[in-house]
Amino acid sequence: MKHILVLGGTGFVGAHVCEKLVRAGYRVSVPTRRAVNARNIQHLPGLTVLECNVHDESALTQAMANVDGVVNLVAILHGTPESFDRVHRLLPEKIARACTAQGVRQLVHVSALGTDWRAPQTCPSNYLRSKGQGEAVLMQVLGWPHDGADSGAEGSHIGLTVLRPSVIFGAQDKFLNVFAALQKVFPVMPLAGAQAKFQPVWVEDVARAVVNSMGRGLSGAPAWDLYELVGPQVYKLRELVQLAAKLSGIGKGHGRPVIGLPRWMGHVQAVMLGLLPGEPVMSVDNLDSMRVDNVATGQLPGFEALGITPSTLAAIAPTYLLPDRSGQGLLGVRRHAH
């Protein structure tokens, strides 16, 4: 039985990845600072929770002993330039060195649509710049070419698959659920970046892509692959906010009036939201990221190359925005038990 280490396995995407890996017959280990953080996945058969600080390279290397493949899902959406660098660049560098030290065969790294490892400094936000730098450092440490060569080119003994998803939706997401919650409180929705474009992708499809990438990597010769993971339809942010309200039955299904803000006003709104306690709904860096449309370039393979037909947002979102159907599959066992 192949052994997979999932970094970020306690998060929104990570929980779905762990479930699918277990269903596919893998033995799964999930490192986390505190075991209680893994309470939603610790019941999965064949899954082991490790108390470990993944930013400690020695502890990370030890956690990779006897591991066949590694999945890296660790990411942040908000923070300082230093925190983005620590999570999105320095951590992948440590992961690559640990994989090399322990002879891991395959690494699947989840990045972000809109970044560019070839010129990360040209990306408009700290989030996208650091994501691109993370891709570049993985390729450098693992020995894969930096000349845009196709997958399968002679390089590292460790396979590397980089997945770039658009914004991810699904039950318990912090995307459509947030828009719906806000419209339950406010009579109107002033919205920064209202015209920004997204190609939302279902969390279940992203998890399938991770598992399929791991399977391909472990069954063949080491290769470097890069995929764009997007849903079938492009939406403007304004349309997504309106759809969240409609599917949640807010305003009798009509939602709230959405007022698109000019850029300077959107900047002010993002600054104010960033000052509120807790995780911000939107930050200035988020707004900067939206200067680049979050849609596929059409220059890279996508879901179809991984044997997946992506689901539409219109088909999936009603299953969790209107009724409470968040506890499905193996992940729902624990929630239904309470």
Question: Domain limits of the chain?
Answer: 3-168+201-231+295-310
60 pLDDT tier (thresholds 50, 70, 90): very high
Segment 119-142 mean pLDDT: 96
Quote the pLDDT of residue 327: 46
| Answer CATH for 3-168+201-231+295-310 from 3.40.50.300, 3.60.15.10, 3.40.190.290, 3.40.50.720 | 3.40.50.720
Quote the pLDDT of residue 326: 44
149 pLDDT tier (thresholds 50, 70, 90): very low
On the question of pLDDT at 337 being above 80, the answer is no
On the question of pLDDT at 148 being above 70, the answer is no
pLDDT in tens, 244-296: 988 888 877 777 889 998 988 888 888 887 777 777 778 899 999 999 999 99
Quote the pLDDT of residue 45: 95
Bridging pattern class, strands 235-236 and 197-198:
antiparallel
pTM: 0.90
* CA 156 – CA 323 distance, rounded (Å): 48
Segment 65-74 mean pLDDT: 98
129 pLDDT tier (thresholds 50, 70, 90): very high
Which of helix, strand or coil describes residue 188?
Answer: coil
Which of helix, strand or coil describes residue 100?
Answer: helix
* CA 309 – CA 302 distance, rounded (Å): 10
Q: Is there a contact between 189 and 256 (Cβ–Cβ < 8 Å)?
A: yes
Quote the pLDDT of residue 325: 43
Q: Is there a contact between 269 and 282 (Cβ–Cβ < 8 Å)?
A: yes
Quote the pLDDT of residue 150: 46
Residue 217, CB half-sphere, CA atoms under 13 Å: how many?
30
Mean pLDDT comparison of 10-14, 286-290, 334-338, highest-scoring range: 10-14
Q: What is the dihedral of CA 181, 13, 240, 130, to 10 degrees?
A: 110
On the question of pLDDT at 30 being above 70, the answer is yes
* CA 29 – CA 209 distance, rounded (Å): 19
Q: For the residues of 15-65, what is the DSSP string, one character each?
A: HHHHHHHHHTT-EEEEEESSGGGGTTTTTSTTEEEEE--TTSHHHHHHHTT
Segment 136-155 mean pLDDT: 70
Cβ neighbours of residue 219 closer than 8 Å, sequence gap 6 or more: none
The share of the chain scoring above pLDDT 70, in percent, equals: 91
Six token digits for residue 322? 């209107």
Q: Which helix (H) or strand (E) holds 6?
A: strand 3-7
On the question of pLDDT at 140 being above 70, the answer is yes
Segment 146-157 mean pLDDT: 52
64-68, 212-216, 333-337 — which is least confidently predicted?
A: 333-337
